[in-house]
A = this chain, B = another copy of it.
Amino acid sequence: MNIKKYIYNVIQPAEKGSIISKIFDLFIMAFILFSVASVFIMTFPVSAKTIRLMSRIEEWSLIIFSVEYLLRIWTADYLFPNDGKIKSRLKYMVSGMALIDLIAILPFFLPMFLPVNLVGIRAFRLIRLLRIFKLHRYTAALASIGEVFKKKSQEILVSIFFVSILLVISSLLIYYAEHDAQPKQFSNAFSGLWWAVATLTTVGYGDIYPVTVLGRILGTVIALMGIGMVAVPTGILSAGFVEYLEQKQSDTKETDKEEEKKYCPHCGKKL
Contact = CB atoms under 8 A, between A and B. Distances in A.
Given A123-B168, A194-B216, A239-B238, A201 B202 contact: yes
A44 interface: yes
A169 B124 contact: yes
Interface in A215-231: 216, 219-220, 223-224, 226-231
Contacts of A194: 216, 219-220
A93 interface: no
A50 interface: no
Contacts of A123: 165, 168-169, 172-173
A106 interface: no
A176 interface: yes
A21 interface: no
A155 B141 contact: yes
The quantity of this chain's copies bound in the complex is 4
Nearest to A146: B158
A114 interface: no
Interface stretch (A1-9, A55-63, A64-72, A259-267): A259-267
Interface in A114-129: 119-120, 122-124, 126-127, 129
B203 A223 contact: yes
A270 B267 CA distance: 11
Nearest to A250: B249
A244 B237 contact: no
Contacts of A11: none
A269 interface: yes
A157 interface: yes
Interface stretch (A22-30, A83-91, A204-212): A204-212
A48 to B, nearest CB: 17
A165 B127 contact: yes
A228 B233 contact: yes
18 contacts: A43-B190, A43-B192, A44-B188, A119-B172, A120-B169, A126-B164, A127-B165, A141-B155, A141-B158, A142-B158, A198-B203, A231-B234, A231-B237, A234-B235, A236-B241, A238-B241, A264-B264, A264-B271
